[in-house]
Structure 1
């Protein structure tokens, strides 16, 4: 057990702990003047012997005793007088310093506190310590799991970015037919514009309806690809329009930078980005970069055309199934105009500004 003697509540007189007297903890004026007999400690006697008693030693002395299973405390008053018998008996001749020896008894064993409450508090304390240790370990585990999740999430995000870039590259290189997801399709069709054919730019062999919704071949077959331009020319932004070609076997859709030509050359050079169908079989993407013959699985009767001016891309879609068919690369030099040619082999019309379907 540990024993501590105090004077007036704050001055350390003597400390006994871990089976040793801790002289370094004493108040300087009590050093060398106290003694705690260890032999009777087992019976609960923690009496303190104070040597060289002085008048200044008067005061209230407290004794505190703590063991693993109980604790106790006791308080007593010490009064010292120069005129007392004990002082006269032990006075040193020729001086006024007292040399009396006084025993201060504190039989703490007889004043032990109830052990049940202490034991319960000790159990509760141990339980709290155990719970705290469990929570600490659980918190460390959760922190580690959180770091692992963050690392996994970062790795997954990087993989997604790589796959997205690979997919974009694959689309650019192969122009593979891929399905436009809802977000992509809505973003594209939100850029819908009503393209109106300009009769002043139409070939004499073409007829444009009054509302600008129909273009058909009505003349003699003097030109292979008579054409008409849209009134609207574009120099920026994203624009989307739809054209119904039906079962026509010959037609051309796209954009042009030639505002005064009324027919499309058989072999277009600079300034044309076109999709061309011949005899209902051969579908060809045409640009200054060269021609690319496409293999369409089945006929597309409604075509969606998406111009991304800043991106330098003209993309074609099956507007009924959302499938991307092909993308022509720019960049576009100056103003570009939508261009339409119903061909010269039949009188079936091109129907422009077909209603957008969010399929």
Structure 2
């Protein structure tokens, strides 16, 4: 690990002014410390934000405001989350181990880096780690990689379970800049597609600090999070589906779907939801939704299985939420 400066911030203003190009904020450190040990990331300065007053979950305008330092364990266990946003609680509990959830934070979870093998291996070229060097994954092992939202510069998948549920719930990220200004960015606009600049993953500037995530008032309908992975725990999603469906007299009146494991960011396609709304649930309708979702999929040789797996997972999730009406 390379030497670095360490600053313990006592306010958001102190934190943002102390940060900047080449610096990183640290809270739980569950991802960052691993990357520093491997020298995948080598910040010259760490700004510790654990003392900041960002640990609260509060009700605001019928929704929730979640401080950036709320741990994944506390967020998953919060009774309001469990009752009104169950998909978020389920997604958090599906990710990592209890020990990691105790340390991992809401803000940090949104910013965790891809688990692409070549991103972690500094002997391999990686445009996300070192722009312009190439993408070894194109000719290598791609089992964990994305099939949607990729480019010829990067096919890495986004690893977060929580972010998939947040995407479904129309979360908004509150960001404070070094000048003290606070802006709100919908999660749908927070992540950037890789394009030719996969190293630029979000809209954050070097000194920007996530201070909270807000959720709107809970929408009606049944919610669930379904995750398919290589083993029952401690594994990243091959395919995951966060879903909400509202039914009225046997018709789907509203629907929202977000996907993990298959996209370069938490993936959502409004056309899939539009195809469901106003329709009677049926296996044929669910298959049509899957066709729309996967129309632009670009699988590699090792992850082509994600296409049929995504189809089956989506259909099973919709059957679960629609119940007997889906027969």
The TM-score, its normalising length taken from structure 2, stands at 0.19
- Name whichever structure is richer in helix by fraction: 2
- Name whichever structure is richer in strand by fraction: 1
Q: Which has the higher contact order (CA 8 A, sep 6+)?
A: 2
The TM-score, its normalising length taken from structure 1, stands at 0.18
